[in-house]
A and B are shown apart, each in its own frame.
Chain A
Amino acid sequence: MDQFLLILVSGLASGAVYGLMGLGLVIIYRATDVVNFALASLATVGLYAALALSERGLPLLLAAVAAIVTTAAVGLVAREAVIRPLAQGELLSALVMTMGVSLIAESTISTIWDDQPRLFPSLVEGSVSLGSAAVPAQSLLTIAVAAVAMALVAYLFGRTSIGTAMRAVAESADTARILGLGSQRIARIAWALGLGLAALAAFLYAPRAGLVPTVLSAPLFRAFAGIFLGGLTSMYGAVIGGLTVGVLDNLAAGYVSAGYRDTFVFSFTILVLLIRPQGLFGVRTFQRV
């Protein structure tokens, strides 16, 4: 029972990280039709910057803010430089473009720093006793911070005018244009927000995993599985999909085999998609001539 509780908590903590990254992917995809493959490596740039600053004596909380700001800034520059010149609606070109950005970002990290694993400091240490089980404090912090961030995103999209405008653009960019809504501004906000969430996820994930240039590629792929599971355009779907993947992934590692966790997660996702191609929360659309 204790073991199950531990696995569940660590699954939710992983899931919170995948959910935050998935949320970032979905926010960017809905606003700009770009599946941002570079999300993970841009967030990793932010992590290395934060680590460098914290080693120079910046408090860790401020370093977290620096990670978010750096990630968003580098991402916005990349978008203006290489994504915007592409024609609208070029789904594939945009995706491949972000792959190129990702290659360059990861390699730049290895050049400036190196490939050696580093320790990434954590805001909290030790563990908390829940019943007879000792749950790592970092896991609980991850779950709590992610929950607060998701609640803020929900508030932004549900209760503020800018959030409403972002949902409107996501539903129909055409109609938004008729109303005079500037889509570039919305796109920039979405990129900054999505990348910021990814940087936050990275900041919570790195203390557990240690820092290498490719530290976020596994979480990115699991976040992908999560957003497809959730229906690709649904923000709730991204969070619930991410949590599902996180829990499944840890259950598979704990009870089946640590070596086959991705096999387990991806087979489950594909199976669900074969039965429900629109995902758990996606909307099925009618096709017309």
Chain B
Amino acid sequence: MSFVSRSGNSLVSRSILSLVSRSTVAKAALGPLAATVLLIVLNTGAIPPYQAYSVGLAAVYTILVLSVNLLAGWAGIWSIAHPAFFALGAYFAAYGSTHGWSLELVLLGATVCAAGFGAFLGAAGARFSMLYVALLTLAFTMVSLEVMGQWTAVTGGDQGIPMEKLHSALGLGTLASAGTQAQYLAVGAAGIALAVAAVARPSALRMRLVAAKSHPMAARSIGIAPEAQSALAFAVSAVFTALAGVLLALVVGFVSPDPFSLALAIALISACVLGGAGTLLGAVVGGAYLTWAPTVAESAGVAQPILQGVVLIAALLFLPGGVVLFLGRTARRLLRRPSARPAPPVEPPEESPQRVPAPSATADEVLRLEDIAVTFGGLKALEGASLSVRAGETLAVIGPNGAGKTTLLNVLSGLVGGGRVAGSAHYAGKPLLKSRATTRRRLGIGRTFQHAETFPELTVLENVLCTRRRITAHDRDRATELLDRFGLAHVADRYPAELPFGLHKRLDLARALAEEPGLLILDEPFGGLDATERTLLTRQIVRQQEHGTAVVIIDHVLDDLFAVAHRVVAFDFGRPIGEGDPGDILDDPRVRSSYLGEGGTRDELPARDGTENPAVHLDAVDHAYGGVTALREVGLTVPRGSVLGVVGANGAGKSTLGRILHGTLPPTRGRRKAAGELRTALVPEGRALFKTLSLRENLEVAAYAAGIRGAELRARLAETTQWLPPRLRERMGMPAAGLSGGEQQVLAIARALMARPDLLIVDEPALGLSPAMVDEVYARIGRLTHEGMTIVLLEQSLGRAASACHEVVVLHEGGIAVRGEPADPSFLARAEQAYFDGEDDAAVPVPQR
């Protein structure tokens, strides 16, 4: 069973594909063709000599801009080093020509030197951020300028050196400099360079470069090593630039340091921004701009740098993406016919989900983890994790937020980052931990990401194709079939950003399955999907189970998760706490309480009489982030002087609701009404303290932000300091990073109190705290209640919320499933039910306690 009927559609897409590759050939021929036409025109003598010289120069600059432009657009490296490579080629040619070197020796020398330096810069640059690459390449150009100026024996210093004839050692003739021959050669070379780039555009090389640039982590997961990609890209770009330098020497007939200054680096960046990084036509536009900008500026009567600056700023403000992209988009908007829109995806047939096939009892064990532990700095994210998965078996890993689930997946795909991993892991009998992330794809491990991390600058088809090093016709057919199977064939040539979230997630899964992995890792695949998409996803998983793929899956949408899983392991606080069948894992009291929390004794709360005025009221509020619905139809009133608990699993929409109640996040639809001059304060999830600031400064900033200054600020600071526990009072000058989790939570609440709020919203105050600290934090929240504060408590744990709140609402997938007062025992049973499946079933029997 597939997403869409297979036969007709794939035929259509295949014919589209052959069209694409035919157009590639046509595009590749365009460069040489234009060059030939230009050569014929030049040969007729219709162009005066000075203009012919400019044309030759423009051809050289086109190659130069092409090298910088494609490096920036494809590999994401904005280089300031290219003037140095340009100079390298030019000086090689000039020095060689005056010292009897052959043409071949000059070309070989320039190529080898440029490739070596380029690979070094690329590899070193991949370790750093964009800014460090800028410094690294800036340094390269600064050093090269000094060398040009000082190494007079070779470069002639500021005077420069002449460029003589170059003889071929292979008897291919002689190249004269500064004449029509050199100009013709430059034009021809530019045509060939464009053809090479046109052929490289649809290749796996570009796709993998773009993938590594836009999402290094996801790229690693499909076997692309960003360092190698960036070294290769820089080396190739440097070689083309050095060859352009040789041509420059030939066309000009003389080499001095003048053209290779930092001004050229800035001009090159302007040319790329103007033409559009990553586009071939943009490089031609940029080359022409560099050549003729001085003439234009002169005839317009402005200084050339001013023209350049204005063009640069205007391009960034009004043409992001460059002239070529802008014109292309405008043309498409004008020419697009409505009928050319792709057909909408076919809805899946209405039928009951397939039965999950049981794995054979004798199936091979695919994955075995023994006693895995992961530490970040001093923090244990995971310990004592042992599990095994057989072929065709699906293992679900569950647990509340912070349980270590994602860390476990990252151990499997090798993306732990700065963490230290201990223990042993075997995949198909071979040790796994020593192998790098990029090699795990080849071993047969594929993974998806929680937020569907696709490559935004590649089309849907390219997102799947880039998993291959070289793309054959067979690969294209298989990729098309794969997209077809996932109902993505109709959007094969679109970009991920144009897709709704559901298709986006399908694409992530399709990419993970492109090479039929033996082990499939799914990170919250159901999150954010609607019912139809979930049914489709379940079918895809079942299909993999039939193929014998082992699957490890984590998710918070438990009902869908349990529908496909054979076995469930539960984690809490980074440790496994239970294992069982999907049907009865939640009967395990430890697992159940890890979600719901301990019941606890109900604290005394100030009495309410039902006449309290509302502090804040939400009316039919919806909220969506980038196509994902976080909240739907939420209506809620927070009465003054009450504690309202909002309970739900991770991803249910609690934090979004908290931000909307706080007033800092405007809802997509619906209204928030607050009483008069209501001061609200939010304690965000994870505390969000300023870790480098001292305790006192954390409080000070909050008061400053609330507009409090001077003596009033000092008074509040003193008052709030008294509210803190003694251990914190003694440490007011220490950085907040040194506090324990519980102390940080208390300080975060104190920080919120600095503004003297009427309504305090606390998001997951118990997250990551030891039970004793949770009690301490809750006791403090309880005392605030008695002082008359209105509080909204966002909680994962139903038990904790029930013991601390007047009223509890259960949020399930963005909607309010049930609401009531925890004092009522029948409500708690309904709330438990609703917590897991979102159903408010009043008929649930009250459990005997």
Contacts and interface: CB of A to CB of B under 8 A. Distances in A.
Interface of A: 35, 82, 85-86, 91-93, 95-97, 99-104, 106-108, 110-111, 161-162, 164-165, 167-168, 171-172, 174-181, 217, 221, 224-225, 228, 232, 257, 259-263, 266-267, 269-270, 273-274, 277, 284, 286-289
Given A107-B306, A260-B150, A99 B317 contact: no
Given A262-B143, A284-B418, A107 B132 contact: no
Interface in B811-833: none
Interface string B386-426: 00000000000000000000100010000101110000000
Contacts of B698: 168
B343 interface: no
B417 A288 contact: yes
B456 interface: no
Nearest to A162: B704
B309 A101 contact: yes
Contacts of B136: 270, 273
B282 to A, nearest CB: 15
B692 A171 contact: yes
Interface stretch (B355-363, B466-474, B480-488, B682-690): B682-690
Contacts of A35: 131, 134
Where chain B touches its partner, the secondary structure class is helix
A267 B309 contact: no
Contacts of B551: none
Interface of B: 78, 124, 127-128, 130-132, 134-136, 138-139, 142-143, 145-147, 149-150, 217, 262, 266, 269-270, 273, 303-306, 308-310, 312-313, 316-317, 320, 376-377, 406, 410, 415, 417-419, 449-450, 523, 662, 664, 682, 684, 688-693, 697-698, 700-706, 709, 713, 751, 755
A176 B751 CA distance: 12
A289 B139 contact: no
B688 A92 contact: no
Contacts of A288: 417
Contacts of A111: 303, 306
B131 A91 contact: yes
B305 A107 contact: yes
12 contacts: A91-B131, A99-B270, A100-B309, A103-B305, A167-B697, A178-B662, A180-B755, A181-B701, A221-B142, A224-B138, A261-B146, A277-B127
Given A104-B313, A167-B692, 10 more contacts: A82-B316, A96-B270, A99-B266, A110-B303, A164-B700, A175-B684, A176-B705, A178-B684, A228-B131, A286-B419
State the 8 A-B residue pairs at the shortest beta-carbon distance, nearest first. A103-B309, A100-B312, A266-B139, A104-B309, A107-B305, A259-B150, A181-B705, A286-B418
A95 B131 CA distance: 9
Nearest to B76: A92
A103 B303 CA distance: 10
Where chain A touches its partner, the secondary structure class is helix
A186 to B, nearest CB: 10
Nearest to B699: A164
Given A167-B690, A181-B704, A100 B132 contact: no
B688 to A, nearest CB: 4
Given A178-B682, A179-B705, A286-B417, A164 B309 contact: no
Contact of A277 (B132, B134, B303, B317): B132
A259 B145 CA distance: 10
A260 B705 contact: no
A178 B664 contact: yes
B436 to A, nearest CB: 15
A103 B417 contact: no
Contacts of A108: 306
A270 B266 contact: no
Nearest to A38: B309
B312 A287 contact: no
Given A181-B704, A270-B139, A96 B269 contact: yes
Nearest to B698: A168
A274 B126 CA distance: 11
